[in-house]
Structure 1
Amino acid sequence: MIDRNHILLLQAPTPGPQNRIVAKPSAIPPLGLGYIASFLLNDGFEVRISDMDVEDVNVRELQQILESFSPIVVGISTTTLTFKNGLRVAKTVKHFLPTCIVCLGGPHVTVNYHEALNYPFVDIVVRGEGEITFLELCRAAAKENKLPLNIEGTAVRSKDEIITLPRRARIINLDALPFPARHLMPLHLYNIPGTILTSRGCPSNCGFCAGPVVMERKYIARSAKNVIAEVQMCIDKFRITSFYFVDDTMTHDTQRLMDICDGLRQIKIPPSITRNLKWTCESRADAVTPEILQDMRSAGCTTIQFGMESGSQQLLDQLGKKITLKQIENAVIWSREAGISPVLSMVFPHPNETEKTLQETFNFIRRLYEIGAEKIIPSLLTLFPGTRFMDQREKLGIKLLTNDTEEYNLGTPILTTRYLDLNSIANGYSQLLMLTQNLGGNEIGGIGIDDEQNNFSHP
């Protein structure tokens, strides 16, 4: 029997054993589900979170959760890579608990909600930020014991019709959000349990980035005081002293960053914890100075990641990255001088990539390692729904070779470009992996997909 006060939140598992080998060590707590859960808890709901990846939840275990907890709403968070598994989970939920409401959320279904709602076991999709929308959904479901058709920020199937409600406006006052419900997450299963989001949205316009799909390009930040309060809470309650600030660009607002650093230097770690505070973040090469990096280091920053993207200035300009190779070099040098390990990420191929620009990138990678780069992480260009490159692929000369989202893992070639065929892209990526590994980097991204799909039947 359904319990109208019970809400279950699930993180859909990564498909394929090789993908999971890569995904599990780098998995981080699902902060999005944590924020939604804290909203629900504050409203009087009883909530459970299950990260099906790190917990290795199979069909039988999911059945046991559903039968013992009997949620009225099950929310499933998916990405493009996990979309099909999200559907398999939804189908399984409906099989064992047919009267509950099944909701999907995340960047993929924010764009492709029609695709999700074509399946009879998906009732409703939350588009964009989920806290307020999902809370209103759960309130309505609990009160009326039926699928609500009028919740702003959703798309819902009613009989044979899909009803698309307007997108909900972004949350402006992030300080008003309760901290994520970390006590509902299996923090001990994560290599990086101390994740904190201090801002939402990115003002940049990189053509391959799916970030603006959910958050658009509007940058909204929490106050330094609010961020420090969360850090202190994580130390006091969970004994976490190592943090990863998961913002797209932690250094976007320099004054706020300096205020956060001031607060971090004043953090109190109980004597029973013999570890020092340390943290890592992501930034842009044009958003740091020697002084900023030195201030960050004095506040505990040990590693910073920059989006390098390419070693060709021509490609960087075409990407709209608005950075120069010299700025990337300076960011690496200044980070090293400040005592911070610089890590760089890059994408291959770009729409106008050629053998010449790839050679320029090889040479630039060697240069960056010479001046102190800790690691360079190459990923294959992957066209995610809603990105500029996906929308403009024909104009850019990009041809998608598969619609199987379970190959959208940043390590499987799934496209060709105007100047490079599939074989050239595969060979180029292999050379990038070998070069970065030999000089100090580690390979990421799945290189193959197995047909066995984590014990979930196909939808």
Structure 2
Amino acid sequence: MKWIVLIQLSSTSLISKGSQNRYKFPPLGLLYISSILRMHGYAVHIIDLLSFGKDFSYLVKRMIELKRKYGNDPLFIGFSVFTENANDAIIASYVLKKVFQNSIIVFGGAHAKAAYEELLQSGVVDIVSLVEGEGHVIEIVNYVEGLIPLEEIRGIAYLRNGHVETTDRFFLESLDILPFPDFLNIKYHNYRQVGIIVTSRGCPGKCIFCASRQFSGSKYRAYSEKRVFAEMMFLHFYFKIISFGIMDDTFTVLKERTKKFCYLLKKYANDKIVYAIKSRVDLLNEETLSYLKETNCSAIHIGVESADNEVLKIMKKGITIEKSLDIIEKIASYGIMPECSFIVGNPGDKPETIYKTLMIVYLLNKYFTLYPSAVAGICTPYPGTELALESKELGLKILIKDWRRYDTSQPIFETNDFSLNFIREVMWSFNREPEMLVERALKKYPNLKEFYEIVERKIKNSAESFFKARKGNLKEWNPLNI
């Protein structure tokens, strides 16, 4: 029997470790690839170390068990590589190559696409996928089986005579032709019972801290509303899932699709499920919010990022803090929880602007009680982002090179306006005693008092309208039963 192993490694990051219990979700990327492979008759085993906190010894033990079962080496061993586990993926590949000498190693994922030259030069990686894996995974298998030469595989990088070679990249145009993720190839009941789905690829945004455009393209490509609804209903009826998280960076880009999706949900399943989405400040309006409200959308995540408009310009967000506060108020007025993310330590940030941003985070969590409405992370120059590619032009002094520390919880660079130690101290204080940090900031920067009072009134009004629209006891409310 011909078999393949797809691996999601664990992480040493405190952020990832902390999320293992709360966000134990299936590895969707690997599940999509598994579906394609199993359609073509291959046995596929998914080893998810991240979600279950398993270590490298478990991986080796499991791989040896599989080799005994099949009596041969897998055709290839695929790794989903993100920045903070890239070094671990190299180490794992080195060991597995010693044990499975007839298998090739394939790396995919955002970090692999950005840092493919470095990964290939390690000498333990045979192929790096530069595109969506579903589009060429069968070509990779055909190469392994001797049916086509390596250079005929589209969208990959590989070494030839010590030099890195690449083939033409491409993006899948019609996503509806893809099968559902291979949910039946994992023990779904061992994961959080929240249906996590992705309904689009590509992003129209230009944010300098995000690599989505580079890896998935600037063209927004989406599943049809019928396909999205069908996948949700499959998870609902097969696994009894009633809570869903739509994980697209921006679900509401195509307003007509959003409208049609909500129509299907309301007509056939409105009393059965609840769901949350992600969107952008500039892609939400009253009409869209009314559709979402009618179909049990419980929360909308938006990236506010900064409280300072000049910093937002440098980040290329295309929004202002005033617009963000207005849309937060509108979301809340429909009884939908506005979940907001922020980034501190950006190019253009100064201590004063960082404190302004943390004030908004504090106020959102103060008035939208019992459920964390806002989170703040530290600006991180992930490979492939404009932040990393144009770091010198943006005035960044990148001091940390260890990929394991690229997890948004630790400062990686400093500028002429703030140091690593300043960011560490501020975030440590904010995470422990946010109210005390805000009080200290207002004493240090009395000019921020008026800003703070205006924002507090705005957020307080938003929270009150949210509670009024919910018409219930917030203590009993949890948008995704997490």
User: Greater relative contact order (Cα 8 A, min sep 6): structure 1 or 2?
Assistant: 1
Cα 1:410–1:192 change in 2 (3 A) is: farther
Deviations 1:394-426 (A, max 9, x none): 111111111100000110112102310112211
Answering whether residue 46 of structure 2 is matched by residue 45 of structure 1, we say no
Q: What is residue 445 of structure 2 aligned with on the other side?
A: none
- Tell me if the contact between 2:24 and 2:52 (Cα under 8 Å) persists in the aligned partners: no
* Of 120, 134, 139, the match for 2:137: 134
Q: Does 1:198 align with 2:199?
A: yes
1:33 Cα deviation after fit: 0.8
* CA-to-aligned-CA distance 1:95-144 (integer Å, 9 cap, x gap): 22111111111111112111111223211111121112222101221345
Q: Which residue of 2 aligns with 1:443?
A: none
Q: How does 1:113-262 map to 2 (within 5 A)?
A: 113-144=116-147, 148-167=150-169, 169-191=170-192, 193-262=194-263
Tell me by how many angstroms 1:85 deviates: 1.5
Q: CA 1:201–1:25 in 2, change beyond 3 Å: closer, same or farther? A: same
Aligned residues: 429
Match of 2:109 among 106, 109, 112: 106
- SS of 2:393 mapped into structure 1: helix
Aligned residue in 1 for 2:30? 33
Between 1:95-104 and 1:355-364, the stretch displaced more is 355-364
Which of 391, 394, 401 is 1:393 aligned to?
A: 391
Sort the Cα spacing of 1:81 and 1:23 in 2 relative to 1 into closer, same or farther, 3 A: farther
Tell whether the 8 Å contact from 1:103 to 1:125 is kept in structure 2 after alignment: yes
Aligned equivalent of 2:448: none
CA contact (8 A) 2:203 2:213 kept: yes
2:343 corresponds, among 341, 347, 352, to 347
Give distance in 2, aligned partners of 1:419 and 1:100.
50
Match of 1:356 among 347, 352, 355: 352
* Deviations, residues 125-176 of structure 1 (Å, cap 9, x unaligned): 11121112222101221345x9834311111124533322222x11010011
Change (3 A) 1:431 1:294: farther
Contact 1:348/1:379, CA 8 A, preserved across alignment: yes
Task: Select between 303-312 and 146-155 the one with higher mean Cα deviation.
Answer: 146-155
| Counterpart secondary structure, 2:383 | coil
> Structure 1 length normalisation: TM-score?
0.87
Q: Describe the SS at the equivalent of 2:50.
A: coil
User: How far off is 1:356 after superposition?
Assistant: 2.2
User: How many angstroms apart in 1 are the aligned matches of 2:434 and 2:46?
Assistant: 37
**Alpha-carbon separation, structure 1, partners of 2:210 and 2:14:** 26
Aligned match for 1:419, one of 414, 417, 420: 417
- Please give the residue correspondences for 1:86-105 in structure 2 after superposition, counting only pairs within 5 Å: 86-105=89-108
Aligned match of 2:288? 292
Provide Cα deviations, 1:217-245, integer angstroms capped at 9, x if missing partner: 22111110111111111112221121110
Paired position in structure 1 for 2:58: 61
- The DSSP-based 3-state class of the residue aligned with 1:396 is coil
Tell me how far apart the structure 1 counterparts of residues 41 and 327 of structure 2 sit (CA, whole Å): 47
| Residues 75, 102 of structure 1: 8 Å contact kept | yes
Q: 1:355-374 maps to which residues of 2 (within 5 A)?
A: 355-365=351-361, 368=364, 372=368
Secondary structure at 1:262 match in 2 = helix
Once the two structures are superposed, residues 240-298 of structure 1 have per-residue CA deviations (whole angstroms, 9 ceiling, x without a partner) of 121110101011111111111111123359xxxxx930111111122212332232122
Stretches of structure 1 lacking an aligned partner (at least 5 in a row): 270-274, 440-459
Taking the aligned partners of 1:77 and 1:34, their CA distance within structure 2 comes to: 11
**Quick check: which has more Rg, 1 or 2?**
2
Return the alpha-carbon distance in structure 2 between the equivalents of residues 89 and 348 of structure 1: 34
Amino acid at match of 1:277: I
Q: CA deviation at 1:436?
A: 5.8
Question: CA deviation digits over 1:52-107, x for unaligned, max 9?
Answer: 11234444432343332431111111101111111122122212211111111111
Q: What is the rounded CA distance, in whole Å, between the counterparts of 1:139 and 1:266 in structure 2?
A: 45
Closer, same or farther: CA 359–402 of 1 in aligned 2, 3 Å? closer
Percent of aligned positions that are identical: 28
For 1:101, the aligned partner's letter is I
CA contact (8 A) 1:30 1:51 kept: yes
Tell me the residue number matched to 1:331: 327
- C-alpha change, 1:424 and 1:6, in structure 2 (3 Å) is same
Q: Is the contact between residue 131 and residue 216 of structure 2 (CA under 8 Å) also seen in structure 1? A: yes
> Could you tell me how far apart the structure 2 residues matched to 1:103 and 1:278 are?
37
Letter in 2 for 1:65: R
Give the 5 Å matches for 1:263-274: 263-268=264-269
- Per-residue deviation, 1:24: 4.6
Q: Could you say if the C-alpha distance between residues 150 and 396 of structure 1 is closer, same or farther in structure 2, counting changes exceeding 3 Å?
A: same
SS of match in other structure, 1:122:
coil
Aligned partner of 1:402: which letter? I
2:79 to 61, 64, 76: 76
Show the counterpart of 2:462: none
1:377 aligns with 2:387: no
Deviations along 1:21-63, whole A, 9 cap, x unmatched? 3445324221111111111111121111111112344444323
Q: Tell me if the contact between 2:20 and 2:52 (Cα under 8 Å) persists in the aligned partners.
A: no
**Letter paired with 1:404:** D
More helix by share: 2
Segments of structure 2 that go 5 or more residues without pairing to the other structure are 68-72, 439-482
In 2, Cα distance between equivalents of 1:382 and 1:428: 16
- Deviation by residue 1:303-337 (Cα, 9 ceiling, x = unmatched): 11110101112211222111122221122212221
Aligned with residue 10 of structure 1, among 7, 10, 13: 7
Give me the whole-angstrom Cα distance separating, in 2, the residues matched to 1:290 and 1:236: 32
